[in-house]
Structure 1
Amino acid sequence: MAVDLLHLENELFLAVDAFFQWLLSQTAAADLYAAGLYSGGELSYLVPTANTRAFLREAGTSPWSPPDWEFHLSNSVLFQQVEEVLGQGWSSDFSAYDIDPLAVRQIVHRVL
């Protein structure tokens, strides 16, 4: 079954909005280095990630490695509905994933 792109966009907007509200309750906007969404090549998941300038300095992590960031996957429960919508793209035996990667990337760009 193909992913319902309109439903995906709506759920992603709600999740991103809630994540940024939560994130800004954890750190000041001026302290953020970067924030965004993280995914794999097949776009079967979208999860939040963010980092602060202070964490980069203190931890000495690479600015280009989101899995090492301070807020990687933080509060990802907010993206549960997004995961459910994306999960609709899998065939019943999970052997195939039906998604339009370009359309999903366009949705991500619009939401962010």
Structure 2
Amino acid sequence: MTADARLSALRRSVFSDAVAAVKPGRPIKVTTYVLAAPGVDADATHSLLAEHARSRGWVVHREHFTDEPAGGPLPLRPQFNIACRRAGAGFVDGVLTTGRGAMPATDEAYEA
């Protein structure tokens, strides 16, 4: 199995487990996160993510998070870290983003 395939399978498994852990009848709560490269309309991206969440029946938390990379191969993502802490603290069930590109760059960091 390739690293990408293994991480995709792990992501699906973690997602399924997280959804199953939500008490039946309680809506799934998410926050949105955008890694806004130059020229990206972060507000519009948050809106699209929120629309996607609502189409799945999820509740979108009022707080959303945006990082704008300062450059370099591994930009700091303080807002991503805050979003993850909100999920870890139980304020939301998950962090919704546009794709893997918004996540930490290395496979090891992504897996953790």
TM-score (norm 2): 0.32
Higher relative CO (Cα under 8 Å, sequence separation at least 6) belongs to 1
Q: Based on CA coordinates, which of the two structures has the bigger radius of gyration?
A: 1
When you count helix as a share of all residues, which structure comes out higher?
1
